[in-house]
Amino acid sequence: MIFILIGYMASGKSTIGRILAKKMDYEFIDLDDFIEKNEKMPVSDIFKTKGEIYFRKKESEYLKKLISEKRNIVLSLGGGAPCYNSNMQAILNTGEAVSVYLKASIATLVSRLKKEKVTRPLVSHIETDDGLAEFIAKHLFERGQFYNLAHEVVSTDGKTENQIVEELVTTLL
Protein backbone atom coordinates (compact mmCIF):
# COMPACT_ATOMS: atom_id res chain seq x y z
CA MET A 1 0.00 0.00 0.00
CA ILE A 2 0.94 3.63 -0.40
CA PHE A 3 -0.42 5.99 2.25
CA ILE A 4 -0.34 9.57 1.05
CA LEU A 5 -0.70 12.47 3.48
CA ILE A 6 -1.95 15.72 2.03
CA GLY A 7 -2.91 19.05 3.55
CA TYR A 8 -1.96 22.68 3.91
CA MET A 9 1.55 23.86 4.81
CA ALA A 10 2.30 23.15 8.49
CA SER A 11 -0.61 20.75 8.91
CA GLY A 12 1.79 18.11 10.28
CA LYS A 13 2.13 15.86 7.21
CA SER A 14 5.84 15.15 7.63
CA THR A 15 5.80 14.73 11.41
CA ILE A 16 2.75 12.48 11.38
CA GLY A 17 3.99 10.61 8.29
CA ARG A 18 7.28 9.76 9.94
CA ILE A 19 5.59 8.38 13.09
CA LEU A 20 2.98 6.48 11.05
CA ALA A 21 5.64 4.89 8.83
CA LYS A 22 7.63 3.75 11.84
CA LYS A 23 4.55 2.27 13.48
CA MET A 24 3.60 0.37 10.33
CA ASP A 25 7.16 -0.57 9.43
CA TYR A 26 6.82 1.21 6.10
CA GLU A 27 9.38 3.37 4.34
CA PHE A 28 8.78 7.11 4.84
CA ILE A 29 9.28 9.57 2.01
CA ASP A 30 8.71 13.31 2.20
CA LEU A 31 8.17 14.52 -1.36
CA ASP A 32 9.87 17.91 -0.74
CA ASP A 33 12.95 16.15 0.70
CA PHE A 34 12.94 13.80 -2.29
CA ILE A 35 12.80 16.76 -4.67
CA GLU A 36 15.61 18.55 -2.79
CA LYS A 37 17.80 15.45 -2.90
CA ASN A 38 17.23 14.88 -6.61
CA GLU A 39 17.47 18.53 -7.62
CA LYS A 40 20.38 19.10 -5.21
CA MET A 41 18.82 22.34 -3.97
CA PRO A 42 16.44 23.45 -1.17
CA VAL A 43 12.83 24.02 -2.30
CA SER A 44 13.15 27.74 -1.44
CA ASP A 45 16.16 28.03 -3.80
CA ILE A 46 14.31 26.16 -6.58
CA PHE A 47 11.50 28.74 -6.27
CA LYS A 48 14.04 31.59 -6.27
CA THR A 49 16.31 30.51 -9.09
CA LYS A 50 14.11 28.36 -11.34
CA GLY A 51 10.63 29.59 -10.48
CA GLU A 52 7.43 27.98 -9.24
CA ILE A 53 6.45 26.50 -12.62
CA TYR A 54 9.68 24.50 -12.75
CA PHE A 55 9.07 23.35 -9.15
CA ARG A 56 5.50 22.24 -9.94
CA LYS A 57 6.72 20.30 -12.98
CA LYS A 58 9.36 18.45 -10.97
CA GLU A 59 6.98 17.92 -8.05
CA SER A 60 4.51 16.23 -10.39
CA GLU A 61 7.16 14.11 -12.12
CA TYR A 62 8.64 12.81 -8.85
CA LEU A 63 5.21 12.18 -7.32
CA LYS A 64 4.02 10.18 -10.32
CA LYS A 65 7.29 8.24 -10.43
CA LEU A 66 7.09 7.37 -6.72
CA ILE A 67 3.48 6.23 -6.77
CA SER A 68 4.02 4.10 -9.85
CA GLU A 69 7.20 2.40 -8.55
CA LYS A 70 7.15 2.24 -4.79
CA ARG A 71 5.13 0.05 -2.46
CA ASN A 72 4.69 0.03 1.30
CA ILE A 73 5.49 3.67 1.78
CA VAL A 74 4.05 6.56 3.69
CA LEU A 75 4.45 9.57 1.44
CA SER A 76 3.86 13.11 2.64
CA LEU A 77 3.32 15.77 0.01
CA GLY A 78 3.96 19.50 -0.05
CA GLY A 79 0.82 21.57 0.47
CA GLY A 80 0.44 22.45 -3.21
CA ALA A 81 1.13 19.03 -4.70
CA PRO A 82 -2.50 17.79 -4.88
CA CYS A 83 -3.57 21.01 -6.62
CA TYR A 84 -1.44 20.95 -9.80
CA ASN A 85 -0.88 18.90 -12.95
CA SER A 86 -3.64 16.33 -12.35
CA ASN A 87 -1.64 15.01 -9.38
CA MET A 88 -4.75 14.31 -7.31
CA GLN A 89 -6.25 12.39 -10.22
CA ALA A 90 -3.07 10.31 -10.48
CA ILE A 91 -3.29 9.54 -6.75
CA LEU A 92 -6.94 8.54 -7.00
CA ASN A 93 -6.23 6.37 -10.04
CA THR A 94 -3.45 4.45 -8.29
CA GLY A 95 -5.18 1.35 -6.99
CA GLU A 96 -2.94 0.76 -4.00
CA ALA A 97 -2.80 4.37 -2.87
CA VAL A 98 -4.89 5.70 0.01
CA SER A 99 -4.84 9.45 0.52
CA VAL A 100 -5.61 11.24 3.77
CA TYR A 101 -6.26 14.94 4.19
CA LEU A 102 -4.86 16.15 7.51
CA LYS A 103 -7.23 19.00 8.20
CA ALA A 104 -6.24 21.84 10.51
CA SER A 105 -8.08 25.08 11.28
CA ILE A 106 -6.89 28.46 9.99
CA ALA A 107 -6.00 29.53 13.57
CA THR A 108 -3.78 26.45 14.03
CA LEU A 109 -2.11 26.96 10.67
CA VAL A 110 -1.42 30.65 11.39
CA SER A 111 0.13 29.93 14.78
CA ARG A 112 2.42 27.26 13.30
CA LEU A 113 3.25 28.97 10.02
CA LYS A 114 4.26 32.28 11.56
CA LYS A 115 7.16 30.45 13.24
CA GLU A 116 8.13 28.52 10.10
CA LYS A 117 7.74 31.09 7.35
CA VAL A 118 11.35 31.37 6.21
CA THR A 119 11.51 27.98 4.53
CA ARG A 120 8.17 28.49 2.77
CA PRO A 121 8.45 30.78 -0.24
CA LEU A 122 4.69 31.21 -0.64
CA VAL A 123 4.25 32.88 2.76
CA SER A 124 7.72 34.16 3.67
CA HIS A 125 6.87 37.69 2.49
CA ILE A 126 3.74 38.07 4.67
CA GLU A 127 4.54 40.27 7.64
CA THR A 128 1.55 40.32 9.99
CA ASP A 129 -0.55 37.60 11.62
CA ASP A 130 -3.70 39.16 10.12
CA GLY A 131 -2.09 39.11 6.67
CA LEU A 132 -1.13 35.48 7.14
CA ALA A 133 -4.64 34.53 8.31
CA GLU A 134 -6.20 36.28 5.30
CA PHE A 135 -3.80 34.60 2.87
CA ILE A 136 -4.38 31.14 4.38
CA ALA A 137 -8.17 31.56 4.42
CA LYS A 138 -8.26 32.39 0.68
CA HIS A 139 -5.66 29.82 -0.27
CA LEU A 140 -7.33 27.06 1.72
CA PHE A 141 -10.65 27.89 0.10
CA GLU A 142 -9.09 27.34 -3.34
CA ARG A 143 -7.14 24.27 -2.34
CA GLY A 144 -9.92 22.65 -0.33
CA GLN A 145 -11.57 21.37 -3.50
CA PHE A 146 -8.48 19.22 -4.12
CA TYR A 147 -7.80 18.24 -0.52
CA ASN A 148 -11.39 17.14 -0.03
CA LEU A 149 -11.05 14.58 -2.83
CA ALA A 150 -8.83 12.50 -0.50
CA HIS A 151 -10.09 9.06 0.47
CA GLU A 152 -10.14 10.06 4.15
CA VAL A 153 -10.24 13.32 6.07
CA VAL A 154 -8.78 13.47 9.57
CA SER A 155 -9.16 16.60 11.72
CA THR A 156 -6.04 17.32 13.70
CA ASP A 157 -6.98 20.29 15.90
CA GLY A 158 -6.60 19.65 19.63
CA LYS A 159 -5.13 16.18 19.11
CA THR A 160 -1.64 14.99 20.01
CA GLU A 161 0.62 13.51 17.34
CA ASN A 162 0.09 10.05 18.82
CA GLN A 163 -3.69 10.44 18.85
CA ILE A 164 -3.63 11.44 15.18
CA VAL A 165 -1.44 8.47 14.28
CA GLU A 166 -3.73 6.09 16.23
CA GLU A 167 -6.73 7.51 14.38
CA LEU A 168 -4.94 7.02 11.07
CA VAL A 169 -4.03 3.43 11.86
CA THR A 170 -7.65 2.67 12.80
CA THR A 171 -8.98 4.43 9.70
CA LEU A 172 -6.51 2.94 7.27
CA LEU A 173 -6.22 -0.67 8.37
56 marked as binding residue: yes
Count the site residues for ligand S3P by CB under 6 A: 9
Report helix, strand or coil for 51.
coil
Q: Residue 62 or 79: which CB sits closer to ligand S3P? A: 79
Cα separation, 148 vs 46, whole angstroms? 28
Rg of the chain taking only CA atoms, in angstroms: 15
Q: Residue 95 or 114: which CB sits closer to ligand S3P? A: 114
Ordered alpha helix ranges (H), the chain = 13-24, 31-39, 43-50, 52-69, 87-93, 106-113, 129-147, 161-172
Cβ at position 93, least distance to ligand S3P in Å: 22
Give the per-residue contact string, 116-155, with ligand S3P (x = CB under 6 A; - = no). ----xxx---------------------------------
171 marked as binding residue: no
2-6 and 27-30 strand pairing: unpaired
Q: Which residues bind ligand S3P (CB under 6 A)?
A: 9, 32, 43, 78-80, 120-122
